[in-house]
Each structure stands twice: as C-alpha cells, then as structure tokens.
Structure 1
Amino acid sequence: MFSLFLRKTRPASTSAAPAKPTSSVGLTAPQSAKALLDTPRRQKLLEQIWQRTALSRTQFEKLYLDPISRYAELVQLLPASESHHHAYLGGMLDHGLEVIAYALKLRQSHLLPSSAQPEVQIAQAEAWTAALAYAGLGHDLGKIAVDMHVEYADGKTWRPWHGPLTSPYRFRYRKDRQYRLHGAASGLLIHQLLNRDILDWLCTFPELWTSLIFSLAGQSEHSGELGTLITQADQASVAQALGGDPAKAMSAPKHALQRKLLEGLRYLLGSELKLNQPQASDGWLTQDALWLVSKTVSDKLRAHLLSQGVDGIPEGNIAVFNVLQEHGIALPSSNGKAIWNATVTSETGWSHSFTFLKLSPALIWDATARPAAFSGTVIVDTTTQPPIAPGPPLNTSCSARGNASERATSNHNSFRPLPRADNASPAPDSLDLLMDLFGGPPTLPEDFETVPFEEPELAISSSVEEAIEFSGKHFMDWLTLGVRSHRIIINDRKALVHTVDDTMFLVTPGLFQRYGQEHPQLAWIAKKESLQDWQWIQKRFEELRLHRKQPNGLNIWICEVSGARKTHYLHGFLLNEHGGLMNDLALNNPYLKVVDQIPRKKPRPTIGNTR
C-alpha cells in the first residue's frame, strides 16, 4: 500500500513521535505524519492523489508527500469545523486530503492555463497540478490560526507558526471568531507546508503564482481557474461529508443547501402536495416509504426555494435528483440512481406507472404526525432497474495534458500503472461526476426525461392554471415584489436586473427563465402555443409596452459589461419608467453601458499555406 512512501519519506519534523491519540483525560497526544496518515482511508486518498500526477515516486515524495506530511503534523487531529462538515477528530486532515483528490480529478479535464498556447500548457502542466494541491491544503488551514484556541496541558497557548505541536494538547473554538477570516489567514502558514525550493519553482510562473497567492489569501474571486477548481473540490468534499447520513441534513447550518431542500420538502408536503389520492396524485405514502412523482416534486421544490431567495438551486430536474441523492434525502434504486419506476394501484382498480423519488417517511414526519398509509399498492418495476454490475472501483481516465496522458489507473491493492484508454473523453466540469471518487451516486442518463409524465402533470397543472392568471402584469408584480424584498438582486455580477440610463435593464432570457422556474405550471400553458415558458411570458411582457424600443424598432438592447480583465455583453429590455423601483436602489451601474452593437473580433492571422 501507500505506506511504502511513508517509510521512505523523511518526516516533516522529528518533534512528534508516534503516540496513542489520547494521553490523558481531555488531552490529545501529537502524532507523527506517518502515524496520522497510516489509516486505510487516508492511504486510499494518498494513492488516488498519486494516480493523478505524472510523477515518479521520488518526485511525488518531494512535491506532494512532504507538504502533505507537514500539513498532517500541523493540523494533527483537529476538526475542520465545529458543527458542520468533518466536525470530528482528524476532520481537518481528511478534508484536506479529499479536496486535493477531488481537485486533481477535476484537473484532468482542464488545460491550464486555458489562455496559453498548447506548448505552454504542456510545459507548465505539473506546476499547475502541484499548485492546485497546495491551494487545496491551504484553503482551510487558516482555521487553526484564527478559529481555534489550542493549548498545552500547562495552559500555554500554541500558535501554529511556532511549528507542530510537541506535547499533549486540548482545543476549543473561539466564540468571537469571524466568518471567512480563516481564508485570509491561510497565507500566514503556507511556509510551514512548502519549502523554499518549491516556492522558488512556483514563482517562475507569473499567472500561476498570482492565482495561488490570491487563493491562499482567501480571495477565490481573483484566483481564476485555480480558485474555481478548489471551490468545486471543497463543495464536493463537504457534500460527501454531510450527505452520507440523511439525519445530518437538519444538523447543518440554516443556510446550507441540504437543509433548505429538506425544509422545502416538508413545507410542500404540508401545504401543496397531495398524497394518496384515488387516482392522479403528487405522491403516495406506504408503510415503509414515501413515493413522490419525480417531475412534480422537482418542479415545485425548485419553484418554492427560488421564491424564498435560496441561492445555488439546480436549474434542471436531473440535477435536482442528483443533489437530493447526494445529500441522502432521496434513496437510491437498485441501479444506484435516484429514480424509481413503479406502478400504483388503488383499491378501486385504478392503476398507472410513474417515475418516483423514494424518501424515508421519518425525514418528513415525526411518528405521531405521520399520515395514514395508502390503502392500495406501489409495486417497483424491476425490469427497468437492473442491478448494478460489478466493475472496477475507480475510473481515473480523462486527461488531455501532454505527457500526463499516460496517467495510471489501478486498483487499491497495487501500484502497477495501467494505461489509460486513448479514446477516453474529458469529464464535464460538474460535481456530479466527482462524487464517484468514493462510491458516490452516478449521474442520471441524459434521456431520462423521455419517460412520460403526461397524466399527472396535466391533472395538477390544470388546477393551478385556474388559481394563477399568468400575464404580463403578473410578471411585473412578481418583479416589483422581488426587487423590493431583495429576493431579486440587482447590479451584481450574476444579477438579472441592472440600473442603466436611469431605468431598469431586464436581462433576457435569464429573468424570464427564472420566472418560469418559479412557476413551473407555466410550461404547460406555453406548450399549447408551442413556446417555451420564458418565451411565453416574455411575449406577455412585450404586450404591455412598458419598454423602450430602439430607433430601428427592435425591442432588445445590448449592454456592455466592463470587467477587470475582459468585456462581455448582456441583452435585455430597458423600461420606459422605473416605476418607483429605483427609490431604494443605487445609482446607475458604472460597469454597464448601452451600445449599438457587439464589436466584431479581429480575425486571427493565418499561419502557413492559405491556398
């Protein structure tokens, strides 16, 4: 196993000898890097990290294992958080290793830096990969400096810049700690992990060096592609830690997505979704499971969460299914996916097949508040859900990095590299594909939604159509309420509403798509006119004639958005009058201006024979 490396590598320091984790009541004895890393799961993570580099064992020890060993001795058995993810002894070490493993998995489908020529990308490939690992180690490292108070048995305070702990210690979280300060504090300690030779090497690559410094300062918004990959890897590690046990969902902070999902489901089941109807229904509760019609609950859950101003809600149904499964809310079927195919039969003889999400009733109701069970039957269709065939435990194919394309895949009992398939295609930049690193749920097939939903969808949508009169006025009322309540943000980097020319600029199709997401029943109405939901409501808005037209009669205006590094363009409507919405808003967005057209890019010079 990977312990072969640990035997050969000189420990980051000799001050911490192997010891039992607990030396006396309330105190924990420091351990060596070898002892800390010599557990089956951490060995597996180290092996996966090595598989994602193009280095010999000797090079790996110098560039990766030595910094990881230093990291292990510095963080010891400290947790990664007080009550959120990895909130257990050794959680910080586990989280750091997971982030590296996830980040290097993502790295395999990226050519860095993306703006450079191929020959530059090949020459800098290993430097960018190593920098990604160092940023992964450092992204939460500042917590031990500013979030925790660590002291020795005699009460003397330990500071992480003093070096690794040398005797039994205890720790507590500071009550006055500042959220996000730990990100900026990581730079204080990076010299504890990286030696002078590594820093000298990295600083010879200006773009990489800039990104790494910003990342270690907690400024991910300025750290470019490196910061984006670390953020996604961190999210994947956190999702796995919190999603392994459904009971952890409600123990997460109130702003956490998994908690919002569960709260949203509880709200819908208490106020909107209809259960155990004689015929078409939103779901059925049996003695051992809650079966919810997948498309219906996904549409309504997204609409509810968007109406509450919750960020980070997936746009598509498949993504919602994956997120619910990742967080342990939706139970996996026999093929490992979130979707179940089953047939409902009532006592009256009515029968119909649906695609379901299966939940544990205990997640939704207490034992005393649980509704009566369905008197009919819900029978799972096993013919469409074959059991999972045994396969290799890990697939690490998908690299396009010059000589790094010979990356190894291996089982967890051997280090002999196997050649990667030449026709392997790069994985998309999605956390859904990352979760398979540790046996997480696979993604759903793209053609999943070909399963018919017509009968329940029509039955449900018809009743809602009567309750809500969709119109241009309803859209404007929704917009006005959203802006005034700050549920619809303005003048932000990802905002769909901006202030331009002393009025409101409504981004299309984004703003109209959001309206459609919050009102999923609109899709059924728009379908009658062979339109998408956002096209239908945009036409109703245009009919109000509340917007300015260009001199040539066109409705859509172009706004140029000037950023620090690049310029891009937005299309949208300019209102004739802001209707009082700007009373509470800032002045015109200084980064936006109306332009007549998007300038054409200059053609690149042709190289070689042009005949």
Structure 2
Amino acid sequence: MVKLWPSRASRKSHLTATQTPAPRAGYHRAMTADELMSTSHRRKLLKVMWDLTSLTHDIFDRYIKAPIDRYAELVQALPASESHHHAYAGGLLDHTLESAVYALRLRQNHLLPPGAKPEAQSAEGELWSAAVIYAALLHDIGKALVDMDVILSDGSQWLPWNGPIQGDYQIRYRQGRDYHLHEVMGLGFAERILGNDVMQWLMEQPGLFSLLMYTASGHAERGGIIAQLSSQGDRASVAKSMGGNPVQALSAPVQSLQRKLADGLRYLVREQFILNQKGGIGWLTQDGLWLVSPKAVNELKTWLMEQGIKGIPSDLGRLYGEMQSYGIIQEVSEGKSVWKCAITDGAWQHTLNMVKVPAAMIWPDGNLPETFSGTVAPKGAAPDSTTTESESVAGKTISTAEADKKSNPVSDETGQGTLNDQGDTGAIEPSPIVAPNIDDDLLDMFPEMDTTTDVGTASTSSTTAIEQSLLVTEEPAPTAESVPNYADKKTTHSHKPREIAKTPATVGQQFWEWVSHGIVSHDLVINDTKAVIHVVDRTFFFVSPNIFKRFAKEVLNDRSLWEDVQKSFQRLGKHEKRADGVNIQTVIVSNPTGTQQSRLKGYRIKEPAEITRKMLPDNWLLTFA
C-alpha cells in the first residue's frame, strides 16, 4: 500500500499539555488528545467502550484508546457537517465516538466471526469488536481532507499528512464540494490513525482485514458485518443528533416539528437534491426555490421517519399545512400550497406541480448557489396536488408510492452557531468543544452500564486469545499510576493480586471480593471456552469446583483449600438454590452441530448487580437444566 503519511518520527505530536495563550479572535486553538477527550460526554463514551469489551487496561490503551487519541488530535474541533448532524465545533469527534459506541452495542447481538465454531468465536470475538471501533474512526475522517479547508494563523492551509494541527486555526467549508468523496477516503488514513501495531495485527487476520479495508474505502457491499454495524452506528448517532430515536433509526435536545422539518429540508436540498437541471427536484430562481411536489415533500417525510423522529403528520395534506404555517413553504392562495409552474430551459419545456421555499431558509448565510439560467413561470394553484397519485418529473411519470420508497438515510442538525457573520469568510465560528446534552439519552441504550464508577485495573495473570495475539512484544507491567481514568473518579486498584487473608471465617467474603474485582477489571474472563464464570439467563454462573480451585491456588497459594473456600462461600447466601434445596445447579452445554451435549455444575448467583451493573450477553450455548 502506498504510504500517504510521513514517517512515525516526523509525525510525533508537537502538542503539549502546558498551558497556551487563548486563540486569536475567530480562531480555534489546537489541543492535546487529553484535553479533547476530557469532556464528560467523551469520557462516558470511552467508559462504555471499555465496558463492552473484555480487554485488560494495557490492551485497551494500546489498541483502542491510542487510535482514538490519534484521531482526536487529527480532527480537533472540526464539525461533522456544515448544516447537518453535529454541526458545531468538535462535532466530528463526538459523532465518531457515538457511532463507535452504538455499533459496538449492536455488535453484541452478533456471534463473530460469522459462521465460525464456538471456540473460535470465544477466542476471536474481541478482535472483531475492535474492528467495529476502527471502522467508526475511519468512516468520516475523509471530511477533514475533502469537505473543508483548515487555515492556520499564518494564512497557510493545513493538510492531514502534515500531522496534528499546531497553533490557531480556522475552518472553512468548500463550496461545490463532492458530498460523497469523503466516504472513500478512510483507507488513506488507516495507518495514520490505527498505527503500526494495529495494522500489523489486522494483516494477520486476512478475513477481518479485508472487511475493514472494504468498509474504510467506501465499498460497503463488500464490507460484510463490519460495514453493516458501522452504518447502523452512524445512523443511530445522526438520529440522536436530530432528536430522534437511535433504536428506531438503526442528541440534541428534543426539537420542535418546525425545526425538524426545516433542518431536514435544508439538508436534503443542500446535500442530496439535484437542482437546476432536467431530471432534478428543484430550481432556484431570484424569487425562491421551487421543489417538485409531492416528490420533495415525500422524500422529506420518509427521511425524517427513517431517523426515528416522531410526530411527523402521516397525511400529506396536513404535512403541507404544517409546512405552510411555519413559513417553510409559501402559499399560492388561501388554503393552497402547491403551484403549477412552467419550466423552460432552452428547447426543453415542462409543466410541474411545485412548492415554493424561501431561499433564505435553505441558505441562511446568504451564500446561494447559481440561480437557474432558464425560467420558472408560476401559473397559479395546482388542483388537488397533495393527493395526486402520480407526479411528473422531467417528462417521466413516477408514482407517489415509488417516490415514498426513495429516501436518504441521513439526517440534519444545524447545531450551535455553525457559521460566523464576518463577511463572506465562511469560517466556522469557534465555540466551546462541548457535546449537546445528550449523555443521558445516549446511555439509555446501556441501562446496565455504570459510567460513574471506576474501571478496575487488570492484572496480567490471565489473558484471552485476543490478548495473547495482540501482545506481540513484552512490555513492563503498567503501574497503578499509569492506569487511565475512564470515569470521573480516580482509580485506586493495583495491578498486583490483592492480598487476601487465609482466615477460614472470612475466606468466603474474600473469595466474593476477588470474583467481583476480577469481573469488573476483566481479570476473570467470562463466557470463554475454559472460563470459570459464564452468564446464563441474565445472571452469573460460577463453575464448580474450578473457580474455587483457581482462587485457592492464586490467592491462598494452596489448591487443597478449595473445599474450605467453597463451604465458606455457600454460607454467604449469595447463590440461588434449587427447588429441592440443593446448592449446586446444572447447565447444559449445547453443541451447534446438534450432536453431543455436555454439562457444567456450579452456582447460580442471586443478585448479579452486587458484583457489577454491567451484564454481558448470555452465553448462548448454555441453559439451566
């Protein structure tokens, strides 16, 4: 692959955490990754990513957080769009993190790699989770190169291959840009963002590597489940920004119907509709913007519904009335919203039913595209056009049902003061890099997640297949001081095994604390082929006697004491007995091939929330007998 980026040595960030002067008026200040990721919203999103994986801290830092930090330093305060979703300073970073979280949550509903044996899915599943995050990082990164210009304080233009932005900068959107070009640019940023370690590992997984590369280069049809999850996560974040329901779409504060209609139409016109040509949907004249009816309104309606936005009138006539009452479309005469217009463009002439939209509503900054070189001549009100069964577009008859099938699975959010009013500079006005107040709504999808408590640190005493494949080089064990803080509080755990007394009277409680710590810190692997803990029927199942033998060996340094540990644990009453009063319960291990079945014996925990509010999906191969 051709390298588009300088060597790693030349790309080292020149940003420092030292305090720097305030930026010039009208400019943003370049920030470090730590500064950019310090907002409560972003810390919570990172915490959810940690919770949705089973990686230890050192693995998470090296293969998840490090790429996120590189991405953050690259995109800085860039918005996600000009008049679309997350259209505010820092919107691109917020959108990307949200998309990764949604996609990762949706990934929990899939057994990956697809079609693999259960053993392979247990061993490699975390690799696929990481790839879902990587796809989110590469999805919109091309916007930094092809959608906008970043102008430094000395007047020069910043380009992504120059490394992170240094000093003060302005952001200006390019006029006449190709709105789809960024979709195929992710591959060129892969090595820069993911880093050599991740790229090397991906090359060792040919199937997964190909899916991610196809996804990053805009070939979703070849990207398989990775492209699917990336697209769904993207749409969910967009819907939340629009005030819609991300679950239905598969935020910004709830907005009025007027705002949703106006923002949606603004986006469709500026980024989707073809204007001023035969076969188009709209024509811009000095009098206003003329849109084909009911095609344009049907597309607006369908698009909003796809974003999970509720309250959109299902009756087309009522929708016209709402748009007219809000001033989004202009009336012809009392009670009439649709005009009959004759369009002439050289030798081509056609008569269409149209609605008239004030140009200032679509282009509030006054930066209009070129007007139609032909003429649009209104001929009065069109008869019953809102209920007509068909519409004529550029000489071709299209049924309303067909028009309803066409939609644009994206949404629009003008955001907070996107453009300044300093003449025609078009620069994005600097504003605090703070996401909309959507944390609670966003995390509603994860009621089991606790984003306020610390993430426990992990020891290196046990590693899953993912960890073994990623730890290609030995590194010193991280110290307690080096453990990252993914929540608001400081972490207090140590990477060393916790010292537990051998007093028989307390060993059961100490075992419980060891298990709780191991689950939260990911030190104890769950749902793996040889795991001592599984999730069955939404609770924890402790495999006996293996879990007690492991505790006795690792903590008490005497495996023969496992029976004492087991009896002491039973006296705590943390487990649920069978109907006949027996402590030990049995789970059946299913074989996907439908042949031989096996059984595991152990303890069913009464209240899993006493250990953690995070509950992983059930091990689908296990059921209580």
TM bin, normalised by shorter chain, reads: 0.3 to 0.5
Q: Quick check: which one's helix share is greater?
A: 1
Greater relative contact order (Cα < 8 A, sep 6+): 2
Q: Structure 1-normalised TM-score?
A: 0.45
Q: Structure 2-normalised TM-score?
A: 0.44
